[in-house]
Amino acid sequence: MMTELFYFSGVLAFVVIFLVSVLAPTKGQTRIWLWSILKICFFGSLFYSWFTDNIVLKWILIEASTLFGALLISSSGTERSFHVGWKFLLINSYALGLAFLGIVILLFVSTPLDNLDFNSLKQGLVGQSGLLIETGILLTVYGYSGKLGLVPNHFWVGDTYAESPSQISSLIASFVPVSVVLAIRPLIQLEREINPHIINAANGILFIGVLTILYSTLILFSKEDIRRISAKVALFHSGMLTLFLWLDVSDDIFYFLLTTTVLVKLLVFLSMGILRMDAGKRNISQILENSSLSHKALYMYLLALLVAFVFPLSPVFVLDLKVIEIAIKQKLFLLFLFPIIGAIFFFISLNKVLPLVRLPNRNFDSGVYRILQTRMVFFWFSFLFTVFVGTYGLTYLLADYIWKR
């Protein structure tokens, strides 16, 4: 059931992003239908990668999204967005190049295969072990982690989300991480069977995931740009994905995690776009110089941050409860630190944005009123669906505690 919910949520999130970009585009956006075709190509390549077990085809589809993504980032038409698009293309292509090298090594070590499906590769590696297999898996996982935006290959994340239109940021942040995690998970599960050593891909990706979480939390102190604050939220959640990969959770929890990632990123960047367009500026210190601000836009952004971390009916809150449950059952008490760090991140971001409440309230500016009203409708629809998913996850994944007498 969670698998179907993930697929449905992915399609729904894309439809919301697509309709927002067509019905309520960024001010000054031109050639909307041309960019819309690229959005479809971007989503289509990643969506198809969710279903294929062919490890080479999956890599090709994820790499294709890099090209489409670079073009979409430059859709703003500014010199800055053009440079950021190149940065996105080069860093991601470099990382995926390492991943492809790892795949080639695994195919070389394996016995002759009938096809390139992962199950065939797994059977071809049965009974084998050694440095080449471990190196192949490590290179593949590390390469894919660059596409995920983890430290030390995270430098494209902040600029990409800061210089792209909010719909593009939402598209990349929602669908790239889940696609990459779907590609990584089988490899980590395979390595658990053939590499019992402490130096392995699972521990390695958890290590850089923790570094990513700490980096995004610490760097948040110096950020005043609401776009960059949103980028750090996305980076923090990408780091959290590695924890669940390391824990090797059940399929139900895993696909609920992917659903959560898609919906939370959608809310954060959709609300950020509304606040950014209403305020007319992106730096909080500059916004505070305004004579007024629409509190509707501000509260939507605050609500999105709340859902991304501590809202009781948020899917993120359900996952935090599952982490606590696993920590207690497996006596891994260090896991308690992850929900705590999430709460700390939330309060830092809240402290950054909350001073905007001091500005007098006003309605949306007449020049962008229709655009922001349309986006607001899509935000509330996405918010209600996210709360529904969180409520369903709470009653399904924690049913033993809720219905237990």
Contact 57, 116 (CB under 8 A): yes
Contact 229, 353 (CB under 8 A): yes
Structure tokens at 80: 């800055």
Least confident of 93-97, 141-145, 165-169: 165-169
* Mean predicted lDDT score pLDDT of the chain: 90
Q: Please list the residues that pair with 293 across neighbouring strands.
A: 361
Question: Which of 317, 315, 322 minimizes the C-alpha distance to 342?
Answer: 317
Q: Give the integer Cα–Cα distance in Å for 104 and 106.
A: 5
Q: What is the pLDDT of residue 187?
A: 92
Of the chain, the percentage scoring pLDDT greater than 70 comes to: 98
Sign of the torsion angle spanned by Cα atoms 69, 246, 232, 322 = positive
Q: What is the pLDDT of residue 376?
A: 95
pLDDT digits (tens, 9 = 90+) for 190-216: 888 877 777 788 899 999 999 999 999
Using N-to-C axis directions, what is the helix angle for 226-247 and 131-148, rounded to 10°? 150
Contacts of 380 (CB under 8 A, 6+ apart): none
Work out the average pLDDT over 310-315: 92
Least confident of 109-118, 277-286, 386-395: 109-118
Q: Give the integer Cα–Cα distance in Å for 370 and 368.
A: 6
DSSP structural state of residue 335: G
CB atoms near residue 148 (< 10 Å): 30
Give the side-chain half-sphere CA count within 13 A for 136: 21
Q: Give the integer Cα–Cα distance in Å for 97 and 377.
A: 41
Q: What is the pLDDT of residue 94?
A: 92
Q: What is the pLDDT of residue 251?
A: 93
Q: Give the integer Cα–Cα distance in Å for 397 and 383.
A: 20
Q: Exposed, middle or buried by CB within 10 Å (0-12, 13-18, 19+), for 384?
A: exposed
Question: Which of 90, 24, 82, 53 minimizes the C-alpha distance to 277?
Answer: 24
Of the chain, the percentage scoring pLDDT greater than 90 comes to: 65
Confidence of residue 32 (pLDDT cuts 50, 70, 90): confident
Between residues 352 and 291, the one the model is more confident about: 352
Place of tokens 């792209």: 164
Q: Give the integer Cα–Cα distance in Å for 301 and 171.
A: 18
Confidence of residue 250 (pLDDT cuts 50, 70, 90): very high
Confidence of residue 240 (pLDDT cuts 50, 70, 90): very high
Q: What is the pLDDT of residue 78?
A: 74
Contacts of 224 (CB under 8 A, 6+ apart): 283, 284, 285, 352
- Residue 161 scores a pLDDT above 60: yes
Q: What is the pLDDT of residue 404?
A: 61
Burial per residue of 327-353, b for 16 or more beta-carbon CB atoms within 10 angstroms, e otherwise: beeeeeeebeebbebbeebbebbeebb
Confidence of residue 109 (pLDDT cuts 50, 70, 90): confident
Burial per residue of 163-187, b for 16 or more beta-carbon CB atoms within 10 angstroms, e otherwise: bbbbbbbbbbbbbbbbbbbbbbbbb
Q: What is the pLDDT of residue 79?
A: 78
| Separate counts of helices (H) and strands (E) for the chain | 17, 0
Using N-to-C axis directions, what is the helix angle for 369-397 and 251-279, rounded to 10°? 160
Confidence of residue 243 (pLDDT cuts 50, 70, 90): very high
Q: Exposed, middle or buried by CB within 10 Å (0-12, 13-18, 19+), for 325?
A: middle
Domain residue limits, the chain: 31-248, 256-404
CB atoms near residue 265 (< 10 Å): 29
Question: Do you find a cis peptide bond into 312, omega within 30 degrees of 0?
Answer: no
Q: What is the pLDDT of residue 212?
A: 95
